[in-house]
């Protein structure tokens, strides 16, 4: 499964960006230090582990009790020492990986609910985790770059974002036309004026709110997740 491979490589990439990092410095996410980001990643592992439990047992266990509970948990864990946070994140990642390994073929098809309220098969959990690890490695501000991401993962990320725009009916009327790909993403009937070009990595950084528009004529984007 490609998503599991991306999860594993993303976990390793995130860990490498933590090596020697000062977690008291601000991250690239407004209002969050590196501590908050590592705490969030650790909490996310536990939350996705609850979805794996739901898929395995049929017992409904949401990712978070509420948005407020999620925020409070992150703030609480962000007060831990950097060493404690790193252990927490590493152990949480290992537990989640073990929980995913335990899922049978039918359990991968069990329906679970994301934090945004969408019902999806459990087979989407590895993608959800991989997305967190790779993108938050950039958010740490310690050298992570979209250009380092696996090409297939970048393509899947562009698909993920444009499909979200379509589901919500809120996306801009654009076609993402990477200069280093043989395909495009977005609205098929958009005129040439709505085409935004750049490398796939540049476009992925832009549509996820992690980089500038690669084209000066590109429209403004709303919140991604």
Domain hosting residue 195, numbered range: 151-207
| CATH code of 97's domain | 1.20.120.450
3-class secondary structure, 101: helix
pLDDT in tens, 33-69: 999 999 999 999 999 999 999 999 999 999 999 999 9
- Domain tally for the chain? 2
- Domain membership flag for residue 214: no
**Whether residues 173 and 140 fall in one domain:** no
- Domain membership flag for residue 174: yes
Which pTM was predicted?
Answer: 0.95
**Whether residues 137 and 86 fall in one domain:** yes
**Whether residues 84 and 175 fall in one domain:** no
Can you list the positions of beta strands (E) in 114-160? 119-121
Residue that is written with structure tokens 């528009």 in the block = 213
List the alpha helices (DSSP H) in 113-150: 125-139
Residue 217 zone, left/alpha/beta (φ > 0; ψ -120 to 50; rest) = alpha
- Domain membership flag for residue 119: yes
**Whether residues 107 and 186 fall in one domain:** no
Question: 170 falls in which pLDDT band (50, 70, 90)?
Answer: confident
Cα-Cα-Cα-Cα torsion 197, 200, 204, 206, nearest 10 degrees, comes to -30
- Domain membership flag for residue 120: yes
**Whether residues 140 and 155 fall in one domain:** no
- Residue that is last in its domain, among 113, 129, 144: 144
**Whether residues 109 and 64 fall in one domain:** yes
**What share of the chain in percent tops pLDDT 90?**
84
Can you read off the two tokens belonging to residue 146? 């979209």
């Amino acid at each position: 499964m490609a998503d599991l491979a991306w999860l594993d490589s993303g976990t390793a990439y995130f860990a490498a960006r933590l090596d020697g990092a000062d977690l008291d410095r601000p991250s690239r996410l407004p209002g969050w230090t590196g501590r908050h980001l590592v705490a969030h990643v650790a909490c996310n592992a536990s939350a996705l582990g609850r979805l794996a439990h739901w898929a395995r047992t049929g017992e409904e266990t949401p990712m978070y009790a509420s948005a407020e509970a999620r925020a409070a948990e992150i703030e609480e864990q962000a007060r831990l020492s950097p060493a404690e946070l790193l252990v927490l994140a590493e152990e949480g990642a290992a537990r989640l990986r073990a929980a995913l390994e335990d899922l049978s073929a039918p359990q991968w098809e069990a329906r679970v609910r994301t934090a945004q309220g969408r019902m999806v098969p459990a087979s989407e959990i590895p993608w959800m985790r991989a997305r967190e690890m790779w993108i938050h490695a950039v958010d740490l501000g310690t050298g992570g770059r979209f250009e380092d991401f696996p090409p297939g993962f970048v393509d899947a990320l562009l698909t993920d974002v444009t499909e979200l725009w379509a589901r919500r009916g809120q996306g801009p009327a654009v076609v993402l036309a990477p200069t280093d790909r043989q395909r495009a993403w977005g609205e098929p009937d958009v005129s040439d004026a709505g085409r935004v070009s750049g490398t796939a990595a540049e476009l992925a950084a832009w549509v996820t709110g992690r980089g500038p528009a690669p084209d000066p004529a590109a429209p403004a984007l709303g919140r991604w997740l």
